[in-house]
A and B are shown apart, each in its own frame.
Chain A
Amino acid sequence: MRLPERQLAVLEAASATDERTVAEIAAETDLKPETVAGAAFDLADEGLVAVGSVTDETLELTDEGRTYVEAGLPETRLYRAGLDAGADAEPVSMGAVIGEAGLEGPEVDIALANFARKGLGSVDGGDLAVDPDADPDVDPEATALAALADADDEGAAFDADALEVDEAVIEQLDSRGLVAVGESVTRTVTLTDDGVDALMTGVEATETVGALTPELLASGEWRDAEFAEYNVEAEAETARGGRKHVLRRTADRVKDVLVGMGFSEMEGPHADADFWINDCLFMPQDHPARTHWDRFALDVDQMEGIPDELMARVEAAHRDGWGLDGDGYHSPWSADFAREVALRGHTTSLSMRYLSGVAGAELEPPQRYFSVEKVYRNDTLDPTHLLEFFQIEGWVMAEDLSVRDLMGTFEEFYRQFGITDIRFKPHYNPYTEPSFELFGEHPETGEEIEIGNSGVFREEVTGPLGVDCDVMAWGLALERLAMLTTGAEDIRDLHGTLADIDFLRNAEVSY
């Protein structure tokens, strides 16, 4: 008969007459106890040994119990402090004794309850008297605790039977929460008759193999080899590959959704003329958002390549309004300011370039376009604001679009991200009318949060660009969507050179 080495060792260590414990066999064979147990069950399956079990009650000190081993039981401390205060002669103020005994918080109640129970004295109307005849030194509870502590120092739980203590004391300690009563199961192994026969007939060990090698495969030796068993439940070191950035993944998802809804992607300059960033959007040049506090003006020369006719039409819209009954802004307007180059504060500058036709062909309706690109705003860095973030921008150009089309489009977009029950709150933007702030329910917290800004571009915007149909547009920060879908609470963990590489490694994959 051939058996794996470890099974053979266990078989040889087992006895037909004695029940031997797994621990004993492990000590003898130099195998781990779990290996012995595994081998014993395998042998039992073969009928070569019998595996039995004995259940013992164990006792273990709780943290509270351990504290009292050092400091003494609260009632004992109270008794001794009472003695010191002369409470054996006549009652003294309880408060002072408690203070002397160093009892605090819940210890006070514990001390008083057990003090009375053990007949160490009495408490009456705030005064405490101690019984001079009581002897806390022979308290069986303290003795049992001390014995447990000694055993505990030597390791492991304590076999209750080995402790010569009254069952009632154990129960008392258990009810006081000073000891934890548990069970331990000891497995025993006994040779069966078949096992004895096998040993007498002779058993050989099979060879085990650690790693499967090319040589084993080539030689065919793998046929006779037994593979050493692994502990397949053991922890393995986590393998790290690269991962796409969590914000990029969110952006990919957004792009997928939009392409699926028929949108084409735009691209264009990050540094652009204020003309494209603001003037085309009918933002008056003295609008507070156009002061140097809110924009990142760049120290480069003005941009000359803006078509003159377009510039003239945009200026006319600002000065005199657009259409028969249109009014302009009563704000200064200069071509020099329009030509200044700044970092874009929104990607609507791309929409303006595309709608005007300078980004490619003149567009005929219907069209849908989007971008998920970076924008720059001078804001205070905090958990929800960065100087640079990604804006999702989208627009639909068609004849006779209505507010209902706008609502339907955005509802569909957000539904793709699990955000339903969109609310459209009428809003004001200089460049859209009507305008709506979009609110939706946070998929996790149920909180109502702002998730975008939208509207139909004003004729003062589309008219000068040469667009004579309706264009509805919306925008939101990608980071806001990412925080919703990843649960990130601090945007700075996600984005920029401040990022924590562990956060990126561990961020849950979204799809």
Chain B
Amino acid sequence: MPVVDVDPDELRELTGHEEKADEELKADLFGLGLEFEGETDDDMYQFEFAPDRLDRLSVEGVARSLRYHYGDARGVYVPNTNDPEWTIEVDESVPDERPYVTGAVVRGLDLDEAALESLIQLQEKLHATMGRGRAKGAIGIHDLAMVKGAPLQEGAEPSVTYRGVDPDGETFVPLDSNDELTPAEVLDEHATGETYADLVEDLDRYPAIYDELGLFSFPPVINGKRTEVTTGSRELLIELTGTDQWTIDRMCTIICYALSARGATIEEVEVNYADGATHPSEYGAELVRPNLDVDEKAVSHDRIETLLGVDFEPEEVVDCFERAGLDAAYTLDEDVTYEVEIPPYRVDVLHPLDLVDDVGRAYGFDNLEPRYPDVGTVGGRHERSRLEDAVRTSLVGLGFEDLLNFHMTSGAENYDRMNVEPGTGGAAVAADEDGVFGGGDPVEITEPYSEEYTQLRTWALPSLVMLLERNTHNAYPQDVAEVGFVAERDDAEETNVAESRRVAGAVARRDASYEAAKGRLQALCDDFGADLATPRTEHPSFIEGRAATVEIDGERVGVVGELHPAVLIEHDLEVPVAAFEFDLDALQ
């Protein structure tokens, strides 16, 4: 979940509520869904919140939400913008993998340390969330005074150009460096370059933004040092590049709202996609940005009432909308429907349902009286779940401790330590004379994070033996059993994975013998009216001559026997263990 760092004094100043005590602020913010997490080293409050309201990723956005909450602001607010002077030209050399750009010019700034820090924080938080770690959208912020946009002639319009560049075809001095580096060198030698190298290193041409003087931004990796923003910066050029125009436009909008809240003026820029450059099909090749257009959605009065379970007067609903920072109009027909205006920073509103949620929050979900729904249905357990449960009850009656083991394991545990070779058989081939029970093909985890969990278990006995291995310090006898899940690769299945439930039991005690295991197995089969036969078999986990196939109602479904001393020693066991395992379905 995103975390926003907020200076409580700044928050008081931006909301105009100097009188709010710290605890009051925290409680008010909790009501908005921002949970106090603690304080940073420099006394900033940290709040965690759900990742829908990304407009609250900075103190300015949090303050705006609070002002609506306090009733100091109502309805939709859109900052004024001035007409464009600057143009971002998009060259056809821009890499196809990162075709889109947007931006804005901001003037009349007075950046103190706190405001600059807040801006940088917002940029980083947007990168991490909407920007998907800069892959989908990356923000570059520049001191406009250091950007040279026009040749030295009267009347020329200033512009910068987004284009592709040969990885070694240009040099510039990146932020936090004094060296002239090519973009490729930045990826190798610069700390920030190394961090974001995977986003561009496979491209033939790297994204770059040029002004009259040359390359000054290498998105999404790093800006040039020349245009670095400081507390002395009064005017900014904001550019965003990415893989989706809507996403970068909205990221830009959130930044513009934040800077506007600090008294800055937003000035539009033109974005011109050249012929041959990929342009966003839904908006065309010539854009004016930032896009602060208000969106509209319709939602019916009836839907609001039924979903919240409350009867409203239309005025009450409109009041809720306005307190949520939205505007709503309606006509008093038989079916009241609201035309709701949504400001552009609300990136979370995808459907009229989201507006109902806003009404609910403004009304206060705490004010809703719970009621048990007047809907009659008949409940019941699934048959498989009842069978599992019945078998567990029988096993417990036979003295087994019921276990619950992990389904993920490693090849070493599942095969090697049991003396079984992978791919030598399995449940499906239990009927096959040559198949080894438990030796089915593994379902492997594509990118395992730990050597201990690399695949699903193909049989349950290894888990039981592992548990015995971990409990050698505890008293014997240890009779343990599990009714549990196993899986193996099987391309005949819908999911290409054959999943089944097994019944496995192990008797670990001084006098554990084949007879002890078979006796319990027999009792279990009797419980379920199943016929048991145990024709002799060979299995690498068991002592030769003391292992049998479990045949239930004529189907070969498992194995029973005395575990081989080599398997016992491998697991540090100093008592004999007799064990069985078979398919749960055989008892159906």
Contact = CB atoms under 8 A, between A and B. Distances in A.
A428 interface: yes
A244 B384 contact: no
A385 B34 CA distance: 24
Interface stretch (B262-270, B374-382, B551-559): B374-382
A366 interface: yes
Interface in B445-495: 445-447, 449, 453, 456, 463, 466-467, 470-471, 474-475, 478-481, 485, 487, 489, 491, 494-495
Given A248-B402, A398-B375, A404-B309, A267 B353 contact: no
Nearest to A324: B298
Nearest to B479: A242
Pick the most buried of B310, B375, B396: most chain A CB atoms within 10 A of its CB.
B375
B324 to A, nearest CB: 12
B40 to A, nearest CB: 23
B309 A242 contact: no
Contact of B407 (A329, A388, A408, A434): A388
Contacts of A332: 243
B341 to A, nearest CB: 12
Contact of B372 (A265, A412, A502): A412
A498 interface: yes
B493 to A, nearest CB: 9
Nearest to A266: B382
A222 interface: no
A425 interface: yes
B404 interface: yes
Contacts of A402: 306-309
Interface in A62-112: none
Contacts of B443: 271, 298-300
> Contact residue range for chain B?
35 or more
A344 B463 CA distance: 21
Contact of B377 (A272, A366, A505): A366
A467 to B, nearest CB: 14
Nearest to A302: B496
A151 to B, nearest CB: 41
A403 B371 contact: no
A497 interface: yes
A372 to B, nearest CB: 9
A405 interface: yes
A237 to B, nearest CB: 10
Contact of B306 (A247, A260, A296, A400): A400
B491 A321 contact: no
A305 B496 CA distance: 10
A471 B399 CA distance: 44
A492 to B, nearest CB: 11
B495 A269 contact: yes
Given A244-B393, A376-B408, A428-B50, A398 B354 contact: no
Contacts of B353: 433, 458-459
A408 B497 CA distance: 40
Interface string B382-409: 1011000100110111111111111110
A367 B377 contact: yes
A244 B379 CA distance: 24
A259 B380 CA distance: 5
Interface string B134-171: 00100000000000000000000000000000000000
B372 A330 contact: no
A241 interface: yes
A167 to B, nearest CB: 53
A329 B392 CA distance: 47
B244 interface: yes
Nearest to B243: A332
Contacts of B243: 332
Interface stretch (B117-125, B179-187, B328-336, B357-365): B357-365
A408 B373 contact: yes
Interface stretch (B344-352, B538-546, B576-584): B344-352
Contacts of A367: 377
A112 to B, nearest CB: 49
Contacts of A255: 381, 385
B365 A436 contact: yes
Given A303-B494, A408-B370, A497 B470 contact: yes
A473 to B, nearest CB: 13
Contacts of B444: 298-299
B213 interface: no
A240 B453 CA distance: 33
Interface in A495-511: 495-502, 504-505
A273 B496 CA distance: 10
A280 to B, nearest CB: 15
Contact of A298 (B298, B352, B381, B497): B497
A53 interface: no
A157 to B, nearest CB: 37
B105 to A, nearest CB: 24
A497 B467 contact: yes
A303 B493 CA distance: 9
B396 A244 contact: yes
Nearest to A500: B471
Interface of A: 240-245, 247-248, 252, 255, 258-267, 269-273, 286, 288, 292, 296-301, 303, 305, 321-332, 341, 343, 366-368, 374, 376, 378, 386-388, 396, 398, 400-405, 407-409, 411-412, 424-428, 433-436, 456, 458-460, 470, 494-502, 504-505
Given A325-B352, A409-B373, A497-B467, 18 more contacts: A242-B479, A248-B392, A262-B376, A262-B379, A297-B446, A298-B443, A301-B491, A303-B495, A330-B244, A368-B377, A407-B371, A428-B50, A428-B348, A434-B356, A497-B405, A498-B470, A504-B401, A504-B403
8 contacts: A298-B446, A300-B495, A331-B136, A426-B33, A497-B466, A497-B470, A500-B471, A504-B403
- Sort A-B residue pairs by CB-CB distance and give the 9 closest, nearest first: A402-B309, A428-B50, A407-B370, A404-B309, A405-B373, A428-B52, A259-B379, A265-B382, A262-B377
